[in-house]
Structure 1
Amino acid sequence: MHFYTFDEVPLAGRERGLTLSALYEHLFGPGGVPEANIHPLTVADHASVARELHGNGGLDLMLIGLGADGHFCGNMPYATRFDQETYTYEFQDSYPWYEDALRLLPDPAEVPSRVVTMGAAMLAKVRRLVLIVSGAAKADALAGMLEREISTDFPATILRTHPNLVVVADREAASRLG
């Protein structure tokens, strides 16, 4: 089994960014995943990772979560590109989610200059896409994903166009659905 990361928030002076660090702590390390089977998406080589992924037959399964602001992976409101397989964007204080994102950083001095993510064009090629949504704080986001007009200001709206999307939601997250 091979693992491809779907986004990364690089941290200054660290080998691993925010996403890769969390995956090593919670999945790769405890699961004993060999280094050769881990393919991190990085700002420097995101296009080559996409080519490698296609050369290896694409993704069979992708597990993602839903943010309360309608983001998925690193596809953040107003920074998302639906037409790109992978892309980078500047981490700017003008984004409405900027302050919330800063709280996720282990050290406030490690503000990244760029973020990299797999975009909707890559997710459209995944054979099975699983979106996991939990908690009452995500109820508006799940309803918005299913009901709002498709737009980059609420990126998750594009997910409902996936031909093989499975949504797993607890009662609290699904509480706003009819």
Structure 2
Amino acid sequence: MQQKVFANGEKASDFLAEYIVEKINAFNPTPSRPFVIGLPTGSSPEKVYLNLVGYYKAGKISFENVVSFNMDEYLGLPPTDHQSYHYFMHHHLFDHINMKPENINILDGLAADPAAECARYEAKIKSYGGIQLFLGGLGPEGHIAFNEAGSSRDSLTRKVTLAPSTLEANSRFFDNDPNKVPKFALSVGISTVLDNSEEVVIIVIGKPKQFALQKTTSGPVGSKFPCTFLQTHPNVLIVADSSAANKIKSFL
């Protein structure tokens, strides 16, 4: 597990955006051989997406032959809802770059049959032969995507029940009212990420993520803290700011 620490979140995001651009350009994707990337939502990747848009507008990257798979989506929110992850991704990234609509993959939160939607999504990821780079973040309690405590290492894309701590953490987007946060979501599984990705890159920003980062790097591997399963992948890069990495021995 490689680790890079920066003085602040802005510098960490700058590095990570440049890193992604270099990876895509080195891959030299084509229509028949696209670069496949996994993408998260949340506050941590926002500056990364802003920088990626900047690189595109500067002519330093094309996303024409990039295929994306987002990690999760709230169940029951339409794509037009400002708190849906469809809306987030289009607002922060997709509407500003040249990705083809057919190459953008986000779980359907309005699916009539959530189980069928999850099976379809899992199969589509595998149809590409996997993911070149999976970008993710950490929940304060150590979850990856919406893989809450108790998620197994072999979990696949599925409907999940959000933990009270997740509802509380995400309530800031719902008038600070946890009761307004959807109680269910569709999420890729831990196996979906770790068994289909050549490289996993995790961005960790801010002091509230110290606990999750400590578990990720040195906690015993197990379902209590799903982030610990990252230790089982052979190619993981942790990009953190000093606030998140402070007091963690492996980062000092």
CA contact (8 A) 2:167 2:183 kept: no
Q: Deviations over 1:78-108 (max 9, x none)?
A: 4x2332221112346xx34333333333796
Match among 134, 137, 140 for residue 68 of structure 1: 140
Mean CA deviation greater in 68-77 or 58-67? 68-77
- How far 1:74 sits from its partner (Å)? 1.2
Question: Is 1:11–1:18's contact at 8 Å kept on the other side of the alignment?
Answer: no
2:105 equivalent to 1:36: no
- Alpha-carbon displacement from aligned partner over 1:36-72 (angstroms, at most 9, x marks no partner): 1101123531211111111122111110011221112
TM-score, structure 1 length as denominator? 0.85
**Residues 133-158 of structure 1, C-alpha deviations (whole Å, 9 max, x = no match):** 12222222211212222232321111
State how far apart, in whole Å, the 2-side matches of 1:153 and 1:72 are: 12
| Paired AA for residue 170 in structure 2 | A
Distance, in Å, in 1 between the alignment partners of 2:242 and 2:162 is 34
Conservation of the 8 A alpha-carbon contact between 2:171 and 2:180? no
Instruction: State the match for 1:122 in structure 2.
Output: 192
Cα distance in 1 between the residues matched to 2:224 and 2:172 = 21
Asked if structure 2 preserves the Cα contact closer than 8 Å seen for 1:148 and 1:157, the reply is: yes
Structure 1 residue identity aligned to 2:100: P
Match of 2:157 in 1: 86
TM-score (norm 2): 0.62
Tell me, in whole angstroms, the C-alpha distance in 2 between the residues paired with 1:65 and 1:99.
Answer: 17
Question: 1:8 is matched by which residue type in structure 2?
Answer: E
Instruction: Provide the residue aligned with 2:130 in structure 1.
Output: 58
1:158 and 2:224 correspond: no
The unaligned stretches of length 5 or more in structure 1 are none
Deviation (angstroms), 1:170: 1.7
Give the Cα separation in 2 of the matches to 1:152 and 1:56.
Answer: 28
Higher percent of residues as helix: 2
- Match in the other structure for 1:10: 75
Q: Which stretch shifts more, 35-44 or 57-66?
A: 35-44
Q: 1:91 to 1:66 in 2, by over 3 A?
A: closer
Residue 100 of structure 1 aligns with which residue? 169
- Conserved in 2, the CA contact under 8 Å of 1:5 and 1:20? no
Give the Cα–Cα distance (whole angstroms) in 2 for the partners of residues 172 and 90 of structure 1: 30
CA RMSD of aligned residues (A): 2.3
Paired residue for 2:212? 141
Secondary structure of 2:203's counterpart equals: strand
Change (3 A) 1:174 1:29: same
What is the percent sequence identity of the aligned residues? 26
- Assess, with a 3 A threshold, how the Cα gap between structure 1 residues 132 and 111 changes in structure 2: closer, same or farther: closer
- 1:168 paired residue number: 239
Is the CA contact (8 Å cut-off) linking 1:66 and 1:141 kept in structure 2? yes
Change (3 A) 1:149 1:172: same
